[in-house]
Each structure stands twice: as C-alpha cells, then as structure tokens.
Amino acid sequence: MKRFGPLDPERWREIREVFEAALDLDDAGRAEFLATRCAGDEALRAEVDELIQADERLGSLGNTESAPLPESGLATLLPLFMGSEPSGRSLLEPPFRWGSLEVTESIGAGGFGRVYRAHDEALRRDVALKLRPVDSAGRTAEGESYLEEARRLARVRHPNVLVVHGAEVHDGWAGIWTDLVRGEPLDARLHRTGPFELETLTRVGLDLCRALTAVHDATLVHGDIKPSNAMFDEDGRVLLMDFGSGFSPSDEGHPNEDHPEDRKEAPGGLPRQGTPVTMAPELLLGSRPSMSTDIYALGVLLYRIATGQYPFPAASLNELRTRLVVQDRVPLDELRPDLPAAFARVVHRALSPDPAMRPRTASELHWLIAASLGAEEPVAANESGPDAATRIPRSATRFVGRSSELRQLRSLLVEPGLVTLVGPGGCGKTRIALTVARELELGLPDGAIWIDLIGLDREGDVSALATQAVGMRDRADQAAKDALVEWIGRRSLLLVLDNAEHVLQSVAVFASPLLRECPNLHLLVTTRQRLSLEGERTFRLAPMSIPPEREVGDGLEVLESDGVRLFLDRAQRGGDELRLTTTTAPLVARIVRRVEGIPLAIELAAARVGTLGLTTVATRLDESFALLANRNRPAADRHATLLASISWSYELLAVTERRILDRLSVFLGGFTLAAAEAVCTDTDGNVVDILSALVDRSLVSIDTYGDDEPRYRLLESLRAFASERLVAAGESEIWSDRHLAWIEREAAVRGPAIHGPEMAAQVAWFEREQDNVRGALRRFDSLARAGRAVWERWVTLCLNVRPYWYHRGHLREGLGSLLEALSVSPRDSSSAVLARISIAHFHWTLGNPEAAMEATLESVSISRERNLPATLASALTLLASLHTDLRNHDEARACFEEALELRDATGSSTGAIVILCNLGVLEASVGDLAAAQAWYERALDLARRERDDSAIGQVGANLALTLLERGERDGVRALAAESLKAIRRTSSVANLSTGIRPLVLIEIAEGRLAEARTLVREGLTAQSELPRLAAWIGLLDTVVDLLVAQGQAEAAAEILGAIDVTREQTDMPVPDGFRARWDVRMGEIRSALGDDSFQSAWVRGRVHTMSTAWEFALRVV
C-alpha cells in the first residue's frame, strides 16, 4: 500500500473517523462527503479510498457467525494497512513492563495506537492498556494532551461505562488502562442477527440511558454515540465506550470557545468527530455538541437497532440536512408494528429537530423508555419518608394524539410558577396533565406530586390534603399550610392539583403562599375556570381536532384528526378489527364531528360500536347531542365518605337517569345493552342514551371482550345503594319481576338449544349470565316463601338451565336447585316429574345409584299413571341406563326399546339419539360389539343430521372405541379426531374423558407417547371437580394404558387397585364385555412386576379414595 504522508496516531484516528462515516452513506453521498471532508488533503482521501476498497473485498468473502466482522470491518482493516509505525517509533512488542503493569500480549492496533493485555498487580487482575506515543510534555504530534481523554473518562464511574483505572506516561508512551472486556459491539450483533427483539431493545435502551446519565452527571458530553461505540459484555450488560468529544460544556478550556485554532471542523463546517447520520440537526448547522445532541444520537441508535436502518438515510449531505429539517422519515411503528407504539413515540421525541422538544435529560429518556416498553420504572433514590415524590397515577388506556397541545403545555411548565389547564368537562384535562406529569416526574430533580381534589368538599383544606400526599405528619405547633411551604422550600418539583373547579377559592388560598415562597415550584392546576392569581399562565384545552365538513375518501385525510385516531384506538381496544375504508371512514368522521371532538364522548361512542355497529351509532348520536352538552354544567359538592360520594353523584343525575340507575340494580354480575333495554325500558326515555350518560359519569363501567357484546356493570356499593332507592320508591318488586321474566324468556330459548348447533353460543351466554340466573332462582325461592304460587315457573327455569349445569359439570349446584324447586311442587305435575328425572340423573352422575334408582322409579310410575308419554320416555331411558350399570341387561334392553318407541311417536330426535347411544353401550357391555357398532352408527347419523355437537362427540367417541375393540383401524383416527373436536368445541367437560380415549389408544399404538400424554393430561386437568363415577373410571383406565406403554407398570398397578376398590364400593363391576381386556391387561402388568411387587402396588391402590387416586394420576402421568 502506498503511503502518502507520516502515519502518526492522530492521523490514523482521523482516517478511521472519516472511513467509518463514509461507510454509512451510499455511493453518491459518500463521494460528496469525501469531497467535502477531504478537501485539500489528497493523502487523507487516498487512505480512506483504499480502506473502503479493502472493506468491500473483505465483505465479499462473507462472515461466519462464530467470528462476525464489526459493521465497518475496521478492526480487521487497520492492522493490514498500518504500514510504517506511527511517528517513526517502533510499537512495543510484549512481553514488557510498562510502569507498574506487566504487558503480556497485543490484542489490537490502529490509529489510536495499540491495545495490550496487561496485568495490574494492585488490582490483581488483567486490564486493557492503550498506549500512544507522546513528546516529553505528554502531548501527541497534534499538540493534544493524550491524558486529557483519561481524565475525562475517569470522571465517570458507572457499571454501563467502560471503567478507567489509571493513566500515566512512561518512556515517551502515554497509557490508559481500563477494564478488559470481551463482548460484541452492537453493530456486530445487528449485522449478525438483524433488528433487535423487544427484550434486547429494552436492555440496550435502559443500559445506555443509565450510562449517559452518568456521563452527563460528570458534566461531560459523549459526542459520538452509535452502535459501534457500545457493546454487550459477556454477561449481556451494555457498555458505552469511545468518547468522541468528551468535553465538559462548562469547561473554560473548551476548544470551540477559547482556542479556535483547536476547533475540530472539516472544510465546509462539518465536525470532524461524529458520524453524519447520527448527528443532531444543530450539529450539521455548526452548533457544538451538547447533552441534547447525545440524547438525539441515542434516539438514532435505538431507531437503528430496532429497524436495521437509520431514521434519515440520504444520498448526500445536503439531502440529509433537508430531510432533517422537514423530518422526512418512516415512522418507527410502521417498520416495527410489533413494538409498543409508545416506544416509537419516545424514539421520535428523542429525534425531534427542536432540542427543546427532546427529553431534557438521559434519566427522563430512561423513564420514558422503561414505561413505553413495559419495563420496571426507575424509582427515586429518596423513595421513603417525607422527601418521597408521590407516584403519578397510571391510566388503563394509552394517550392518543394532541402533540401540539403537549408541546404548548410543556413550554408553559418549563419555568416555575402557576399554570392552569382550563377546559370544559370531558375534554381530557386530567389525561393530558397525567401525560405531562409523567414526562416531568424524573425530569425535575425532586420529582412530581399528584393530588386529586375530587373528594374534597367546598370548605376542605387543600393544605392538609397536600401534606398527607407528601407523607408529612401533622404538627401541633405549625399549620399545615406553613409546614408545606417550609417542606417545599427551594425544592424543584411539579405539583399537580387535579379537579379543582369546585374548590377554586381554597386552591387560590393554598397556592398564593407557595408561589410566593417557593421559587422552584411548578404548579399545574386542572379546572373548568382559571384561578385569577397574579402571574398565572393559562392554557385553554379545546376538544380534539375533528375531520373537516366535506366528503371523506379513503380515510387517510380523516386520520389527520386526533379525534378519529382516539375513536379507532378505543374501538380496537377490545380486539375489534375496525379499519378505515371508503365505507367506514365517512361514518367515523360523522361520529367524531357529531360529538364535537370531546374525548369522553368519543370513547363512549367507540365502546358502543361492537354492540350497535358504526351506522347505528352514527344515527343514534343525532338524538343524544343534548346529553353530551350536559357535561359542561357546574360541578356539585364532593364529600369524603363513600356513601356521601355516591349520593352526591346520584343527585347530579336527571330524574330519568336516576330511575334507570335504580332499575339496573336488579342485575347481578353485569348486563348487556339488550338486557338493560328488555328489563328497564318504559316511558322514561331511551335506555341507550341514559346508559351512556351513566357510563360517562363513571357510575356504570363497561367491559368489552373481543367480538362479544360489551357488558356493563355497577360497582357493588353503588348497586346496593340503587337497590335501596328502588325499595324506598316501592318499585323493587316490579323491576325484580321484570328481571325474572327476562331470565325465564332467555333460558327457555337458550337451554334447549345447548343440544343443537348453536351450543357454544348458548353455553357462553349462561357463563356470562350465571350471577343473573342464580339471582333469579333465589328470587323464586323468596317468592315461594312469601306464599306466591311460582313453583311451576321455578321448576321450569331449573329444567331449562339443567343442560348448562350438566354440560359444564356444575352437578351439585344443579341438584341443589332442583331439590329446592321440587320441595314446593305438587308430586304428580308433569314439570315435577321431569324435575325428578333430572334429579335422578344428577344423583347417578355423582355416583349415588340408590337415590337415582328411587327417583327414577317414582318418575316412571307417575308418568304411567298420568299418561305422559314424553316424560315416560325420559324416565325409561334413565332407568335402562341404571339397569345397564347393574348388569340387568334384559331389563335395560326392554326399557330402551319402549322408550325408543315413545320417542319415535313423539318425534323427539334428541331423545332418540340418547336411546340409540345407550343401546350401543348396553350391547358393548355384554360383548356384542357388532350390535353396539350398529346402534352407534344409527345414533351418529341422526346426530349429524341434527348438527348436535354434544351427541356427535359422545357417540363418535363410543363408535371409535368399538371399532378399535373390533380390530378395525381404517378411518378411526379421523372419526376420533372429529369427536374430540366436537367435544372441545362445546367445552363439554362431561364428555371429555370419553372423547380423548380413542385418540390416546391410537397414539399409543403408533408409538406417539408424548401426544398421548398431552391428551391424558388435558382430561385430568379439565375437571374443576371429580367427574361422575363412570367418567372417573374411564379416564383412569386410559391412564393405566398410557402408564403401561411408558413402562410405569408399578404406577399402573396402583391405579388399577384404586379402580377395583371403587367398583366394589359402588357395586359397579367390570362389564362383561370388557372383562376379558381387563384380565389380560392385569396379567401383563403382574408379569412385568412379579407377584410381590404387583401385590404391593395393588394394595396401595386400594387404600386410595377417588380424590387421592386422581391426584396420584396427575403426578405420575
């Protein structure tokens, strides 16, 4: 390589900086940059050109993952092109002693000199030593004191900043020794892995903010923050290295001020140090580096490692300057939509072209990054005691829009003094105050304090509330106001008084001495009218911007409105996929315009979209404008106690609103809009609008669950209050009866439908309305006790809820409810007979066959006496199942056949499916698998025609098991999978044990034990309580098969013992048709274990209860 001049270390440093900066530009931009930077220095241009060519050659060779090149390749290139030694002096070759250090090996070289591994005897560890030739005065060839860098670095002691241990001059060499760190620079990691994931981004952002805070606390500026100047150490910690400018803004000897001959600028005014694409706009315009430019560079770094590109890529320096001025960049959240949108906003704020709009400190940026990425927030060192700043409240939803208002409010709060944030009710004063307060919480040395005045009455003492907020104790010798003035003193903090409109005079009295005596206090008050104090700065907050009154096209134009963006965010909050299209954009614009951009009204309208749809919301809002206007009426008194506060809120309501609120108290556990309209509507007004008003006043909460209809709920304390008002008005019976009638109507439709194709939807309705159903049943109980003749309605409701109870395994609740209803019913009524059959079914399922048989026989008798064919068919079906369990096969078959004739006569397909399936169970139990298959096939065909998922799951699984028993394999996996899918689709816990068994057996046969184990654990863990006896036996029987396949014969024998003793205790022997399989499997396990081991395990199993056996199965599977 041809040398164009002396290559002293400072010259190599200049070459390195120009080379690295050039690599960040494309070919055209690189040419312009080099022409400007190297103007008048042909040798510099030639050196850099050769390095670029070498870098391209290295890049063409490719990199291995085990040894990645840094982003620029400089670590590889510089040693190749060092040529003659710097300043004509030979570099030292280890081993040698330098001062107190034993130098052992060279680990790098370049324009900076050479870096060695050395041993520091005082520290008793290896360090990195950087040596550079200097003259007798300790200055480099360029006249700089090399030890100045060491002095700057040594002022910073922080875990995320490379530690400097010492600096000395010996024998013409200046040396700095630091921690010896092995790791990977950020640019190398980015090259190797691509854009960083969320967890890594979080660690980098927070670590570098901590490092930069330490640098700035030492009154230094880094000056060259970029991915190649930060690295991951071996423990994953991020370290900040290689200071660029490293000067102190307050140093008198700053080169740009007192020593213009030392000014480090290239021709054309471009700073020699730093990388153009990472420089803040003011640097490119000639300003000096500052703490704010470091924050900007850190924003560039975060954007870079998150996206793999720079925020303002450009082909030339002029284009770069232009793009910075107009902020022509791709938003971070568009390139990385998987990252929190709040993080993108934080990075964009750090990249603001106006330094005043950036975070003022690295610690503030640290807080913002932590909050936006969901990391743990930093806590002030003085967390405890009276010096602790109160945490700013958190909001459940994200802040949207209002960037202009935020900038204006921030600028007013820069100087100490009073700022009043004034606006009408519902315009978002609290939300914007919260946002600014969070930004300033760590931006001010003494933090921020938030005091909500909503609970203070008109004569309340603001000073007392404030002293409590800061943790001060009352003092007998000093008034609270004077104590607070003394405590704040010269502290620099933000104090926010929220909701002050009802105590304006008290706030004015409180604020006056604070503003007079506390020169560094920033006081922000949210109110509906200003305080009118001297020096008060007022910011009037208007509603959010709305779309223009003209035709809307594709939606891009309306997105310029903050109100539209808020509407979309809230509508999508529950998972709704609302997107702006040519159809939806005009409707959204219409809604936002109609509510005049008031945020609370926008949120309320958005919450109703899932229920009413955009078109209905837009139409109905035409009738609710007056309601929205009521938000601006004067605030009423606030009180301290909960009851008084509720009463105060209640008194603010219009008469019709009070009436609806009272009526809503009959709901338990929440309600939908449709339910409220069904129960509470009369001539008192539109429930939709009144409910919206109650939500707006926080008297009713609203929850959305994806695509489900939104649900509303009253806090229990408020519901009790409203219920008492309803009783006092003499209307409790009226509206409770309305609620009861609504439940009866819904259950009458939804309960029977559980056996049909809409099973999942109907089960989901009962899940949501469980509390309302239980309330209705309790209401019937109270009415019956009061002498009202409601027994038939009560029993009917129980019968309609019964499919849900059985389906979800709420067996004891169903049994108890039916017994209570039956206790007041005539013995021989048809509904009472049906209730008795259901009671028998619950008893049977719960493992009480004697009680089941007694109730069933009585039901058969009454049904015959009263000639009730449908009821008799149900009773005979259950009786036949009981006979099957008792091995009375002939009696069972006769009962099934009679029941089937009755079902055919009445046209009940659901009942026929049950009988056909049970006939299959009967034939399988006696070993006639061919007959069982025929019955199951008939039942499955009918279930598919009726689209009865519950029956498809149960019958299909039984058929699959029968086919497996008969040795058939073709199509059985598909049949078993179909059955289990149907059971899962219906969330039927009752059928799950049957549904998984055929698939488990297939997986075992094919050697897929992991899949079999997953299925078995699904069956074991799905039960909220022990399943019915038959299901318990069936699932544990499946567990035994799995354990045998896994070689766990001893555990299998123990579970067999538990099954055996349970069968004995319940008089449920192994069915004849399954006895042979039971005996063969037991013999195989005995042979595997030997007689003694088998007997021990068998005895341990017989000690188990049903519950402990279940727990044991969960442990061993």
Query: What is the CATH classification number for the domain harbouring 338?
Result: 1.10.510.10
Picking from 732, 820, 837, 755, the residue whose alpha carbon sits closest to that of residue 784 is: 820
Q: Which amino acid is at 441?
A: E
- What confidence tier does 70 reach under pLDDT thresholds 50, 70, 90? very low
| Residue 331 belongs to some domain of the structure | yes
Tokens of 999: 């698939």
- What confidence tier does 644 reach under pLDDT thresholds 50, 70, 90? very low
Least confident range of 663-677, 711-725, 1089-1103: 711-725
| Residue 522 belongs to some domain of the structure | yes
CB atoms within 10 A of CB 786: 8
Please indicate, yes or no, whether residues 200 and 292 belong to a single structural domain of this protein: yes
**Residue 2 is assigned to a ligand binding site:** no
Q: Tell me how far apart the alpha carbons of residues 369 and 140 are, in angstroms, rounded to a whole number.
A: 41
Helices (H), 970-1105: 972-985, 989-1005, 1009-1021, 1029-1045, 1049-1065, 1072-1089, 1091-1103
Please indicate, yes or no, whether residues 199 and 316 belong to a single structural domain of this protein: yes
| Residue 955's CATH number | 1.25.40.10
- Whole-number mean pLDDT of the chain? 78
Q: Region 822-845: what's the mean pLDDT?
A: 89
CB atoms within 10 A of CB 215: 27
| Residue 39 belongs to some domain of the structure | yes
Residue 319 burial class via C-beta count within 10 angstroms: exposed 0-12, middle 13-18, buried 19 and up: middle
Q: Give the model's pLDDT for residue 853.
A: 92
Please indicate, yes or no, whether residues 116 and 212 belong to a single structural domain of this protein: no
- The torsion defined by the Cα of 109, 113, 117 and 119, in degrees rounded to 10, comes to 170
pLDDT at 286 over 90: no
pLDDT at 5 over 60: no
Between residues 150 and 938, the one the model is more confident about:
938
Tokens of 178: 């630091």
Q: Region 977-1006: what's the mean pLDDT?
A: 84
pLDDT at 826 over 60: yes
| Residue 885's CATH number | 1.25.40
37: enclosing H helix or E strand: helix 27-37
Between residues 136 and 1039, the one the model is more confident about:
1039
Mind listing the pLDDT tens digit for each residue in 501-539? Answer: 778 888 898 889 998 888 878 899 998 777 888 888 888
Domain boundary among 492, 509, 540: 540
| Residue 394 belongs to some domain of the structure | no
Between residues 138 and 103, the one the model is more confident about:
103
Q: Give the model's pLDDT for residue 279.
A: 86
Q: Give the model's pLDDT for residue 556.
A: 66
Please indicate, yes or no, whether residues 768 and 625 belong to a single structural domain of this protein: no
Please indicate, yes or no, whether residues 361 and 415 belong to a single structural domain of this protein: no
Picking from 144, 150, 133, the residue whose alpha carbon sits closest to that of residue 261 is: 144
C-alpha Rg value of the chain to the nearest Å: 40
Instruction: Specify the 3-state DSSP secondary structure of 236.
Output: coil
Q: Tell me how far apart the alpha carbons of residues 645 and 457 are, in angstroms, rounded to a whole number.
A: 10
Tokens of 1008: 């897929």
Please indicate, yes or no, whether residues 220 and 314 belong to a single structural domain of this protein: yes
Q: Yes or no: say if 1058 and 1109 are a contact pair by the CB < 8 Å rule.
A: yes
| Residue 236 belongs to some domain of the structure | yes
Taking each helix axis from N to C terminus, what angle separates 909-925 and 949-965, rounded to the nearest 10 degrees?
Answer: 20
Mind listing the pLDDT tens digit for each residue in 431-478? Answer: 899 888 887 775 665 778 888 887 677 666 788 778 777 767 666 556
Q: Give the model's pLDDT for residue 698.
A: 56
Between residues 1041 and 341, the one the model is more confident about:
1041
| Residue 340 belongs to some domain of the structure | yes
Q: Region 312-339: what's the mean pLDDT?
A: 77
Tokens of 333: 């959240």
Q: Yes or no: say if 290 and 355 are a contact pair by the CB < 8 Å rule.
A: yes
Instruction: Specify the 3-state DSSP secondary structure of 1057.
Output: helix
pLDDT at 576 over 70: no
Please indicate, yes or no, whether residues 337 and 192 belong to a single structural domain of this protein: yes
Q: Yes or no: say if 872 and 863 are a contact pair by the CB < 8 Å rule.
A: yes
Please indicate, yes or no, whether residues 262 and 374 belong to a single structural domain of this protein: yes
Instruction: Please report, rounded to a whole number, the percentage of residues in the chain having pLDDT higher than 70.
Output: 78
Q: Give the model's pLDDT for residue 476.
A: 57
Q: Which residues pair with 525 in a beta bridge?
A: 420, 497
Q: Give the model's pLDDT for residue 988.
A: 67
Domain boundary among 1022, 1047, 1080: 1022
Mind listing the pLDDT tens digit for each residue in 727-757? Answer: 999 999 999 999 999 999 999 999 988 877 6
Q: Tell me how far apart the alpha carbons of residues 605 and 582 are, in angstroms, rounded to a whole number.
A: 20
Domain count, the chain: 10
Please indicate, yes or no, whether residues 194 and 335 belong to a single structural domain of this protein: yes
Q: Give the model's pLDDT for residue 678.
A: 92
| Residue 392 belongs to some domain of the structure | no
Q: Give the model's pLDDT for residue 251.
A: 43
Q: Which residues pair with 494 in a beta bridge?
A: 448, 522
Q: Yes or no: say if 815 and 843 are a contact pair by the CB < 8 Å rule.
A: yes
- 91 phi and psi angles, rounded to 5 deg: -70, 145
Between residues 1058 and 15, the one the model is more confident about:
1058
Least confident range of 559-563, 637-641, 809-813, 1082-1086: 637-641
Between residues 602 and 864, the one the model is more confident about:
864
Please indicate, yes or no, whether residues 497 and 412 belong to a single structural domain of this protein: yes
DSSP string, 1000-1028: HHHHHHTT-HHHHHHHHHHHHHT-SSPPP
| Residue 295 belongs to some domain of the structure | yes
Between residues 928 and 24, the one the model is more confident about:
928
Provide the pairing of β-strand 521-527 with 671-672.
Answer: unpaired
- What confidence tier does 622 reach under pLDDT thresholds 50, 70, 90? low
Domain boundary among 825, 860, 878: 825
Mind listing the pLDDT tens digit for each residue in 107-120? Answer: 876 445 688 999 99
Mind listing the pLDDT tens digit for each residue in 147-173? Answer: 666 677 777 888 898 888 888 888 888
DSSP string, 925-971: HTT-HHHHHHHHHHHHHHHHHHT-HHHHHHHHHHHHHHHHHTT--TT
Least confident range of 404-418, 623-637, 1062-1076: 623-637
| Residue 663's CATH number | 1.10.10.10
pLDDT at 1074 over 70: yes
| Residue 89's CATH number | 3.30.200.20
Residue 388 burial class via C-beta count within 10 angstroms: exposed 0-12, middle 13-18, buried 19 and up: middle
Q: Is the dihedral of CA 858, 859, 863, 864 positive or negative?
A: negative
97: enclosing H helix or E strand: strand 96-98
Q: Give the model's pLDDT for residue 330.
A: 83
Q: Give the model's pLDDT for residue 937.
A: 93
Mind listing the pLDDT tens digit for each residue in 40-58? Answer: 777 788 878 877 776 665 4
Omega prior to 159 cis, within 30 of 0: no
Containing domain of residue 799, as a range? 731-825
| Residue 431's CATH number | 3.40.50.300
Please indicate, yes or no, whether residues 172 and 24 belong to a single structural domain of this protein: no
Q: Give the model's pLDDT for residue 819.
A: 94
Q: Tell me how far apart the alpha carbons of residues 60 and 77 are, in angstroms, rounded to a whole number.
A: 14
Residues in the chain: 1117
Please indicate, yes or no, whether residues 229 and 347 belong to a single structural domain of this protein: yes
Specify the pTM.
Answer: 0.47
